[in-house]
Chain A
Amino acid sequence: MAMFALPGSSSNSQRIIRQERKPLFFLNVPFLLAVFALVAYGLIVVHSAVEGSVDYSFRRQVTGVVLGFCVMLLFWSFDYRKLAGYVPLLLGLTILLLLSPHLPFVGVSVKGATSWVKIFGVQFQPGEPAKIVAILLMAAVVSKYRGYIRTGREYLKVLGICAVPFICFLSQPDLGSGLVTIAIAACILFVGGSNHKWLLLTVAAGIACIALVLWMDPILDAHFGEDVFMKDYQMNRLLVFIDPELDPTGAGYNLDQAKIAIGSGGLLGKGLGNGTQSTLGFLPEAPTDFIFCVIGEELGFVGTSMLLLLYLALFVTAFHISLKANDLFGSLIVIGVIGMWAFQVLENIGMCSGLMPITGIPLPFISYGSSFMITNFMALGLIMSVWTRRPSAIKRQ
């Protein structure tokens, strides 16, 4: 209104507002609001989910957040652009991290997966930070082509490097995290300018591969007398996903209980800490992989759609940052992180609600687990680093 009444003064006031916002130019406020709302939400829900449990502690989760915050500050202050030239180093680091659980003395096997290391009494999953390194690796490789991967030779070379983290994850074996790296690779390759035909061809080949594995696995298992490609439980999970009523007390039990928890929440939920499915132990691994079910049960549809809205805000603001990046490398880093988070959200919420097969993928910023939390904060630091070093900000400096 004032603008139309007094054009001159209005432009003055606009200028003043610009100047007032100036100190915060290095922060993308909407993005950070979404992130910290998610972290706060996660802490509240985890607090409710770990109550009375001996296996989990809320303090450990808070420690993870605090550590993650420090790591974020570190990554934020670091100029990501310096990394663009170190492809061999990044590749080596990825391989080292992902194969470290296989090393003697430090490697630890939990539930049949060799994905933990223990150094000086501190146990963590190197696969988590390895995802970040993998994002940097892929972004660095693809950004070299300046938005156009022109020949098939180039495409295959890039694809080969992008497949390294996936293969390393399968060796643990950790199929879930492997799929995350595929999602990252797919997003980076797409934005990085791969030919659409080749991408589609790759997807088709992947599907054919999966079908072949599904078909061959029982035959090979019978032939060699041991699990060759997939563990039996993984096979069962896939079969149960196809028909959830297959075995409600066996492999389908988890899925069934997860769906009951979400569905029984209704509109408003049973109230924080009042979920019967989670507190009475029907929900397996409630604070980690099935944390979304706790939200669904205790906070209802209001709670779950609020979470989805927060994720939407996170992704939209992140896309904005990616578009405003200084260079393709920075942009692809953000795209890779978005791909990682989006796939994790899809897979985690999808498996809890029966849309996706069950794999142990946690929910970003919400699930219990400090390695995972620190990794997400690393990604956060990278995105903020990209934002802070955007052209307009640099010019202003």
Chain B
Amino acid sequence: MEAAIKAAVVSLLIIVLLVVVAVIVKTIYDRQKPLMLRGSRESGRKKGIGVARTTKTLPSTQNTEDEDFGEKKSVFKPRFAFLETGVVAILATLFVKLWSMQLINSESYAKRADSNRTTTFTTRAVRGRIFDRNGVELIGNRISLAVVADADVANNRNVVHRLSNVLGIPRQAIRQSIRDESEGAQAKRVVATDVPMRAVAFIEEHPGIFPGVSIESRTVRTYPQGDLACHVLGYTGAISAEQLEESQVTEGISYEPGDIVGKSGVELAFESVLQGVRGVNTVEVDAKGNVVSQIDQVAPQAGKDIRLTIDVDIQRTAEEALYEGLQRAQDDYKMWDATAGAVICLDLEDGGVLAMASYPTYSPSKFIGGITSELWESLTSPESGQPLNNRCISGLYPAASTIKPFASMTALKHGIVNDGSTWVCKGVWTELGEQWAKKCWSTSGHGRIDLPNALRYSCDIAFYNISLNFYRNRAEEPNALQDGLMEWGFGSKTGFELTGEAVGRIPTAAWKAAYNVDTPEYATWLPGDMANLIIGQGDVLITPLQNAVAYSGIAIGKCVKPHVLKEVLSSKGEVLISKGMEYSHEPEYNEDDLSLVRYGLRLVARENGYIRDFPITTAGKTGTAEVAGKDDFGWYVGYAPAGDPKYLVVALLEQAGFGGTICPPVVRKVLAKCLGIEDNVEFGAYVDESR
């Protein structure tokens, strides 16, 4: 319709223009002819009319000075015509210019006029809360009263002065925060947050002396459980420039400068769920930027609450047990460098993480409202012990003897070992030659032992023998052992939700060759490499979470895919998304073989002085990792009940000494909490030197 009108008007205008031009051209043409001719023609056309104006009538005027003007019209006519053409050309030029601006390029100008006129600013949405599996609040929001001011208050000396007095903030600082445009030029500027009630009351009672200043309530994160589960939960902070840029090119939430986003842990992993949608206010402004009217208002949409698989009580127990274990390693065994560790507790029925403790810890609450550079420095410097790292998923450690059950499964699968296989341990192993002698941790030797007992005592020599068989078979299956181990999840990510998960490493001949490409003398895969691999030393690196996942495979037959999210809740509390059991790996094995290994792990638990009197039968494995230049790292992985596993706990204590000595009490405390058993285990009652 509009297009039709447009076309009609335009064509009409064109016609009018053409007519005008034609008339002008004709006039010019006429005027350029000698006057006599035109006069005679006119008189000819108008014959019979009395007032035929011929040249003869013109000179007979009363002109005093310029009597010949009429005579000389033939001289002047071309000059007039030229000038008239010029004037018409000017109007035509303007017409063409307006045509191009108003008809051809109108849309782009209209857009610019609109962007001139309207401006939008957004209001923050409340971030979703985080609960544990039983609905205990882990992270909440609280209202923080903030003093906000219009942008032009910065130029009002009196108001700045009064604000400074009431809030106790230097005037310069107040001016600076009012001039900060990070939340949008039209948005109100935050002068101070968490303002004391006294100041709030004073400002609200005296609106007359605080023009442009108002009190706004904003929400900030609260941590009712303190620093509990800080590595799982993570911290928040203002969005970084890179994140902001990325959010603008990718789909999903479009952020604004100053937005609070998750920086680590669950806060980061479920950012898209927790982050609400900003409310949008569209207003009309005048040239000075004053708001003239409200055009549109969209209320902010709060972020969704989520429920984690974490159990607050188990998490607390795990953190306390880990801390106690490290303390006791220092106090009882003089392991002064025992300052870090990790504990994971998995629910084997739904694959959820019940507890995930990493030490050292930090305070997520310190990140509210921006972290000072000194504090950041103290959290990230090399001396800090990297408290921000979640060692459960990103710490890489030699697996040590905890890898032996999986080596056993692989050996059984390949027929290298069967339930009747036995080896003789004399404390030293010289199969590779006298000069390459390897010792068992028990220098006196274990005598003749079978597989379950080799696991029970963690006999290295039995496994060295197995490794030699793998090495000898390398022509047919060069990576038989490695592939077998990777079937249980080593050397690959578990698929856990939190970011920062490490991959780990199961070394192969190919890897070694590639790794030592510049030093060919070290590039050959040797039987010693196979021997190191089978006891989880050398180049083997795993994360505590990978170990938990692998042992879940032993415990229930399939490796779980661990998860920390249980449910996403709507604002009304309805469950929107629910996460259940999933498996990350399904290794192939023979049931009898698994039973044999499980039996060995039960023997381990029966052997260990801390575990054997636990009221419920458990199974487990110790490990003591040797790390160059550091004290030994201790491992213990246990699950219970042994017959029908429901819970699995991994403990890793860095530089805390023998795994069988320092870790089992930690695991036992967590298992007791899971199973609801009143239990009291004493650290330091027993020393297990097995590796």
Residue of A with least CB distance to B6: A267
Say whether, besides A323-B80, A392-B53, A301 and B16 are in contact (CB < 8 Å): no
A333 at the interface (CB under 8 A from B): no
Q: Interface readout for A286-309 with B: 1 if CB under 8 Å, 0 if not?
A: 000000000011001110110011
Q: Are A11 and B94 closer than 8 Å at their CB atoms?
A: no
B102 adjacent to A280 (CB under 8 Å): no
Tell me the complex Cα distance, A319–B76, Å: 12
CB of A350 closer than 8 Å to a CB of B: yes
Q: Mark B89-101, 1 if CB is under 8 A from A, else 0.
A: 0110111011101
Contacts of B59-92 to chain A: CB distance below 8 A: 60-66, 68-70, 72-73, 75-77, 79-80, 82-84, 86-88, 90-91
A331 CA to B66 CA in the complex, in Å? 11
Which of B10, B66, B106 lies in contact with A329, CB distance below 8 A? B66
- Which A residue's beta carbon lies closest to that of B10? A267
Bound state CA distance, A312 and B89, in angstroms? 10
CB distance B116 to A15 under 8 Å? no
Are B76 and A312 in contact (CB-based, < 8 A)? Answer: no
Question: Smallest Cβ distance from A137 to chain B, in angstroms?
Answer: 16
Which B residues are in CB contact (< 8 Å) with A277? 113, 116-117
B residues less than 8 Å from A350 (CB atoms)? 94, 97
A329–B65 contact, CB under 8 A? Answer: yes
Write the nearest CB–CB distance from B546 to chain A, whole angstroms: 58
Chain B positions within 8 Å of A349 at CB level: 94, 98
Contact at B49–A259, with CB atoms within 8 Å? no
Q: Is the interface of B mostly helix, strand, loop or mixed?
A: helix
Question: With an 8 A cutoff between CB atoms, is A391 at the interface?
Answer: yes
Within the assembled complex, what's the spacing in Å between the Cα atoms of A242 and B47?
A: 58
Q: Is A164 an interface residue (CB 8 A)?
A: no
CB–CB B285/A346 < 8 A: no
**A179: B residues at CB distance < 8 A:** none
Partner of A326, one of B10, B69, B98: B69
Q: For the complex, is B108 an interface residue (Cβ under 8 Å from A)? A: yes
Q: A147-B75, A392-B53, A394-B61 are in contact. Are A260 and B69 (CB under 8 A)?
A: no
Q: Are A327 and B65 closer than 8 Å at their CB atoms?
A: yes
Q: Are the C-beta atoms of B287 and A391 separated by less than 8 Å? A: no
B93's partner among A193, A267, A319, A355 (CB-CB below 8 A) is A355
Assuming the contacts A146-B66, A327-B65, asked whether A322 and B80 have C-beta atoms less than 8 A apart, the reply is yes
Complex contact B61–A342 (CB within 8 A): no
Alpha-carbon gap, A392 to B52, bound state (A): 11
B48 on the interface (CB 8 Å rule)?
A: yes
Please name all residues of chain B whose beta carbon is closer than 8 Å to the beta carbon of A268 when the two chains form the complex: 5
User: At the interface, yes or no: A59 with Cβ under 8 Å from chain B?
Assistant: no
- State whether A327 touches B63 (Cβ < 8 A): yes
A309 contact set on B, CB distance < 8 A:
16, 20
Judged by a CB distance under 8 angstroms, whether A157 is at the interface is no
| Residue from B70, B110, B116, B286 in contact with A266 in the complex, judged by beta carbons closer than 8 Å | B110
Contacts of B51 in A (CB 8 A): 18, 392
Cross-chain contact of A315 among B5, B10, B68, B84 (Cβ < 8 A): B84
In the bound complex, residues from chain B placing their C-beta under 8 Å from that of A187 are 83
User: Would B102 and A259 count as touching, CB distance under 8 A?
Assistant: no
Q: How far is the CA of A316 from the CA of B26 in the complex (A)?
A: 13
Contacts of B84 in A (CB 8 A): 315-316, 319
- Check A14 against B49 for contact (C-beta < 8 Å): yes
Q: Does B522 count as interface, using CB distance less than 8 angstroms?
A: no
A101 to B378 Cα, complex, angstroms: 73
Complex formed: what's the CA distance from A281 to B9 in Å? 31
Q: Which residue of B lies closest to A10 (CB)?
A: B48
A69 within 8 A of B: no
- Flag if B61 contacts A296 (CB, 8 Å): no
Docked complex: B547-586 residues within 8 A CB-CB of A: none
Given contacts A260-B112, A338-B87, is CB(A282)–CB(B287) below 8 Å? yes
Q: Which B residues are in CB contact (< 8 Å) with A315?
A: 84, 87-88, 91
**Among candidates A18, A262, A267, residue contacting B109 with C-beta atoms closer than 8 Å:** A262
A190 B97 Cβ-Cβ under 8 A: no
Query: Chain B's nearest CB lies how many Å from the CB of A307?
Result: 9
- What's the nearest-Cβ distance from chain A to residue B54, in Å? 11
CA distance A346 to B93 in the complex (A): 9
B468 to chain A, nearest CB (A): 79
Q: Are A280 and B287 in contact (CB under 8 A)?
A: yes
Q: How far is the CB of B186 from chain A (nearest CB, A)?
A: 14
Beta-carbon contacts under 8 Å, B333-373 to A: none
Interface size range of chain B in the complex = 35 or more
Closest approach, in angstroms, between the C-beta of B515 and any C-beta of chain A?
A: 57
Residues on B with C-beta less than 8 A from A335 are 83
The answer to whether A264 touches B292, judged by C-beta atoms less than 8 angstroms apart, is: no
CB interface residues, B 355-395, toward A, < 8 Å? none
Residues of B within 8 A of A354 (CB): 97
Cβ-closest chain B residue relative to A280: B286
CB distance from A17 to the nearest CB of B (A): 10
Residue of A nearest to B48 (CB): A11
* Nearest residue, chain A, Cβ from B86: A342
The reply to whether A353 and B94 contact each other, CB–CB distance below 8 Å, is yes
**How long is the Cα–Cα vector from A260 to B110 in the complex, in angstroms?**
7
Is the CB of A345 closer than 8 A to any CB of chain B? yes
Q: Main SS of chain A's interface residues? A: helix
- Let me know if B76 and A326 touch, CB within 8 A: no
Shortest Cβ distance from residue A283 to the other chain B in the assembled complex, whole angstroms:
8
Once the chains bind, are B87 and A342 in contact (CB under 8 Å)? yes
Q: A143-B66, A266-B110, A327-B63 in contact; A296/B80 too (CB < 8 A)? A: no
A235 in the interface, Cβ–Cβ < 8 Å? no
- Give the Cβ gap from B283 to chain A, nearest Cβ, in Å: 12
CB A267 to nearest CB in B, in angstroms, measures: 5
- A266 and B49 within 8 A (CB): no
Contact B102 A331 (CB under 8 A): no
Contact of B102 (CB < 8 Å), options: A11, A84, A263, A276: A263
Is B198 interfacial (CB-CB < 8 Å)? Answer: no
Tell me if B510 is interfacial: C-beta within 8 Å of chain A: no
Q: Decide: B97 and A353 in contact? CB cutoff 8 A.
A: yes
Is the CB–CB distance between B101 and A353 below 8 Å? Answer: yes
Which residue of A is nearest B72, CB measured?
A: A147
A14 to B90 Cα, complex, angstroms: 38
One of A260, A280, A297 near B292 (C-beta < 8 A): A280
A6–B385 CA distance with the chains assembled, in angstroms: 119
Q: A81 touches which one: B64, B91, B112 (CB < 8 A)?
A: B64
Contact A327 B62 (CB under 8 A): no
Determine how close the nearest CB of chain A comes to the CB of B240; give it in whole angstroms. 29
Residue of B nearest to A84 (CB): B65
Tell me whether A384 is interfacial, beta carbon within 8 Å.
no
CB distance from A109 to the nearest CB of B (A): 26
Say whether A263 contacts B101, CB under 8 Å.
Answer: yes
Produce 1/0 per residue, A249-285, CB < 8 A to B: 0000000010111111111100000001100111000
Given contacts A266-B106, A304-B102, contact A280 B284 (CB under 8 A): yes
CB contacts (< 8 Å) of A31 on chain B: these are none
Is the CB of A328 closer than 8 A to any CB of chain B? Answer: yes
CB of A342 within 8 A of CB of B90, answer yes
A157 CB to nearest B CB, Å? 19
Cα separation A257 to B99 with both chains bound (whole Å): 18
Q: Is B630 an interface residue (CB 8 A)?
A: no
Tell me which residues across on chain A come within 8 A of B69, comparing CB atoms: 146-147, 325-328, 331
B24, CB-defined interface residue at 8 Å: yes
What is the bound-complex CA distance between A349 and B117, given in angstroms? Answer: 24
Given contacts A11-B48, A260-B116, A328-B69, contact A191 B20 (CB under 8 A): no
Given contacts A267-B10, A282-B116, 6 further A-B contacts (CB under 8 A): A146-B68, A263-B105, A263-B108, A329-B65, A391-B61, A394-B61
23 A–B contacts from the bound complex (CB under 8 Å) = A14-B49, A147-B75, A257-B116, A259-B109, A264-B113, A266-B103, A267-B10, A277-B117, A280-B284, A296-B98, A308-B94, A309-B20, A312-B20, A315-B88, A319-B87, A328-B66, A331-B76, A335-B83, A349-B98, A354-B97, A392-B53, A395-B57, A395-B60
Binding site for B on A (CB under 8 A): 11, 14-15, 18, 81, 84, 143, 146-147, 187, 190-191, 193, 257, 259-268, 276-277, 280-282, 296-297, 300-302, 304-305, 308-309, 311-312, 315-316, 319, 322-323, 325-329, 331, 335, 338, 342, 345-346, 349-350, 353-355, 391-392, 394-395
